[in-house]
Structure formats: C-alpha cells, structure tokens
Copies of this chain bind each other. A is one copy, B any other.
C-alpha cells in the first residue's frame, strides 16, 4: 500500500468519549455486545492507568517509529494514538520524548501493538500507554507507513476517529457511530448492576437472582451428595 496521511477525521463528541471512559473497559465491552476488545497481551505499562480518547491510527513497520512523529502532527486535543505494525514486533517505538511531544499537542494516551520504553518517566508524567511489551530496543526511521487509515491492532479493526477506552482490564474500541448508543447502554448497565451488587453482597445467590436453576436443570446439571452416587 502507498504510504499516506489522511488529514481530516471525524471524531465522536467529547462528552461521549468522556462518558465511555467513566464506564470502563469491561462495562463498555459488554454494553456493545462483547465486541471490540483487543487481545489480552495489550497491558498498561504502569498500573492504574485509565483513559478514553479518539483514535488517530498509525500503520508502522517493525522496528521503525518514523510514522509516530508524522502522526503527532495530526493529533487534536483528546486524541489517542493507536499504532498497528505490519508484523509482530516488540521494539520500543515510543518513549518519553515522543510522549512529551504527544502530550504537548493534546494527546491523552497511546495504544501500540509493539514495545514501549522509559516506563518510569511515563509513569512520572502520568502519560498512559498500553503495549504488547516493554522494550528499550531503539528503532530506525527508514520506511514510511500511514496515518489515519483503517488498521487492525491487537486483533481489532479500527477506523480513525473511533473511540478507545483503556484501563487495567485492557483496551476496547467503540466505532465512532456507535458511541452514543454504547454510552447509553453502558450507563444503563451500571445502574442495573448496583442493585445486583447489593443483593449479592447480602448473600443472595446468582442462581436465584438470575433465575438459573431451571435452565441448568434443563441443560442436564445434576446434584449428588458424593461422586460415588453418580456411578450408582
């Protein structure tokens, strides 16, 4: 594919992005029908990180972080960089200098299907990063990739402008056009869970709360006093 930078990207309303971020990854993932979750190897490089933003997508080559510099110019306040790589790679494409630059332009976080370095500095800056590896491995600037094209990052297809929500549970992608509906569903889910949490905390069983006893019996589940009873 020809290397290209797309300048104009539609983004979701900031209020929607913020609302999704407040709900957290697990709830948002459920609220949009259990889709959009990145592979579990994508982990925060420092614990407790949590953020939401609009995706500026990057397609980079293994061991080459040239396009991250290019992408930062396209960043607007509230954006996150989402970096896909054309082959599995753990090189440390992003560190404290790029974080300084990205933050200065309004970027709020990074999701990268490769490595990240300067972990201690990033934590000190409070700049959140999710990556597949921590690596000090330096990179070259030799081969152009693309910015703001559709990419696949850690198993999920992402379009520029999609909403990214990331925390200790991982990273989930909400298509831009679904942001309002998913935010509403996520809020409803949280409201609904409050009552359940209270009842479960009081000792009520999920079996009763969710009415599972009958479907379990229909599905063939049996209760015995000991394993020996089963053989009789």
Q: CB within 8 Å of B: which residues of A?
A: 1-8, 25-26, 29-30, 32-35, 37, 39-40, 43, 48, 50, 61-64, 66, 69-70, 72-73, 86-92, 95-98, 100-101, 103-105, 115, 117-120, 133-138, 140-144, 149-150, 152, 155-157, 167-170, 172, 193, 196-197, 200-207, 210, 212, 216, 219-227, 230
Smallest Cβ-Cβ distance to A105: which chain B residue: B203
Contacting pair A86 B137 (CB below 8 A): yes
By a CB distance below 8 angstroms, the chain B residues around A202 are 104
Contacting pair A200 B34 (CB below 8 A): no
Contact of A70 among B70, B133, B216 (CB under 8 A): B216
Contacting pair B137 A29 (CB below 8 A): yes
Within the complex, what minimum Cβ distance (angstroms) separates A79 from chain B?
Answer: 15
By a CB distance below 8 angstroms, the chain B residues around A92 are 26, 169
A-B contacts, 25 listed (Cβ < 8 Å): A1-B34, A2-B33, A3-B220, A7-B224, A8-B225, A26-B118, A26-B138, A30-B138, A48-B120, A62-B91, A63-B89, A69-B207, A70-B212, A72-B207, A87-B90, A89-B89, A100-B201, A117-B169, A119-B169, A135-B170, A141-B212, A142-B143, A144-B221, A150-B157, A157-B157
